[in-house]
Amino acid sequence: MNAAPLSAPLDVPSRPAPGLPEVLARLDRLTDWERRPRGGMRVGLAPMHDLLARLGAPQRRLRVVHVGGTKGKGSVSALIEAGLLRAGLRVGRYASPHVESVTERVCLGGATVAEAVLARALARTLDAHEAARRDESAGGDATWFDVLTATALLIFGEAGLDWAVIEVGLGGRLDSTNAVDGEVAVITNIGLEHTEILGHTRAAIAAEKAGILKPGAALVTTLPPEDEAGAVAAERAAALGCPVLRPVLPPGASIAEENAALAGLVLDHLGRDHPGRDHPGVRDRRGAPVSAALLDGATRAAACLPGRLERRTIRRAEGPVPVVLDGAHVPFNLAAVLRDLVRADDLPGPCIALVAMAGDKDAAGFLAVLARHAARLVCTEMPERRGHGAETLQALAAVAGAEAEAVALPGAALARAADLAAARGGWLLVTGSLHLVGALRGATQAEAYGRGRSPWPEP
């Protein structure tokens, strides 16, 4: 492929290039379902198809691995990206939500997109949206996430990529990202989340998430065929003529091990020649097939994302307090996070948990899991986000048998939780919301205890 540099500027009109804050102000006028109650959420692909057609259908120039599932899809996407980068390929990754900066959502060559590149592309997409509104076509109904997704595909389409790894936002079948045709679809797992939109059973949710699977693509999943969700996914795969690939996992596999197994299976599949397919197996720059062997310890460590079992520290007079930042917000994922943390031999003393949760999450179920592991909970809230109040969370925690208190302001809550951890010789878990993690991450340090920490052993 004769590819342009990943940082090559997009074609834009001759007017002065807008700055990113200016363009984000335009974007923020659109409906943002990440900040609003989702009970009345509109889903559908017509606005995406219209926007992308107005932008020259950039998604048609991409070879895509499409990653969905309830939990782990961000980490699996990052691992696939890291493996393909290790092979010397040109890779883009689209993810959501971000932790600290919107630029985190679009990665080129393993780095977050330059603000100038994002601003130019986003301005073009917003211009397309405004043109669609004038024309009264479907693109005029595009949401905040639609526009940002179309912007990422525009950047990728003009960057000359070998591969794009696209993480699903919500669900799958009607998610904005499903405007792409993935050659591999990953469904990491299925849990009860966003039930007001996706359905109230794991089978119903699986039907939505399996909607990313395209005819002839491969499905990579941990879901066994006898599972109710796995059966739905397998049925769709059979109907579309798609092979189903499942990793072999040891009993009690950690989150990190499960994610790496899924990513490795994707790389193994991409590296094989498949008779009758348009493309031969993917090769690295030396001509060798890509495979799971690319995911050595260093590559996996490079793929660690902020806010996912991330180790940090916070200073107190008694000494540094170990901090784990993890945006888990559904009970089954929190249980897995806590299971892995209990195994760690370098988290001394009791766990103090700082938690905030969006209003559409199963707070009672989440806090019931947390109450079994944390010595004390500090409940807080995100004033600019749709969420449970701190006192509501405290009351639910009390019902679950937890010792808890409410501190509404996140910064004050972090200080209180850190003081409790320091006084008890323990450690601090910040969880329940990636938005909470993003708001507080800057108040912790990646030094001393937390420097270079990853869940991956050295090879």
Cα distances (Å, whole numbers) of residue 37 to 41, 60, 386, 405: 8, 33, 6, 26
CATH superfamily membership of 20-302: Mur-like, catalytic domain (3.40.1190.10)
Task: Quickly list DSSP for 141-204.
Answer: G--HHHHHHHHHHHHHHHTT-SEEEEE-SSSSTTSGGGGS-EEEEEE----S-SHHHH-SSHHH
Stated as kind and residue range, the H or E segment containing 256 is: helix 255-271
Please tell me the predicted confidence (pLDDT) of residue 243.
96
Burial readout 409-436 (b: 16 or more C-beta within 10 A, e: otherwise): ebeebbbbbbbbbbebebbbbbbbbbbb
Residues 31 and 147: beta-carbon distance below 8 Å: no
Q: What is the mean pLDDT of each run of 10 residues along the chain (459 residues)?
A: 44 66 93 54 83 98 96 95 98 94 96 96 97 96 95 97 96 94 96 65 93 96 94 96 94 92 98 81 94 96 92 94 94 92 90 94 94 96 82 97 96 97 96 94 73 37
User: What tens digit of pLDDT does each residue of 386-423 get?
Assistant: 789 999 999 999 999 999 999 999 999 999 999 999 99
Please tell me the predicted confidence (pLDDT) of residue 53.
98
Contacts of 234 (CB under 8 A, 6+ apart): 223, 225, 244
Please tell me the predicted confidence (pLDDT) of residue 361.
86
d(CA 310, CA 324): 5
Q: Domain map of the chain by residue range?
A: 20-302, 310-450
Please tell me the predicted confidence (pLDDT) of residue 345.
86
Please tell me the predicted confidence (pLDDT) of residue 169.
92
User: Is 0.85 topped by the overall pTM?
Assistant: yes
Q: What is the CA radius of gyration of the chain?
A: 22
Tokens matching residue 343: 């195994």
Stated as kind and residue range, the H or E segment containing 317 is: none
CATH superfamily membership of 310-450: Mur ligase, C-terminal domain (3.90.190.20)
Please tell me the predicted confidence (pLDDT) of residue 360.
81
| Residue from 407, 359, 364 nearest 384 by CA | 359
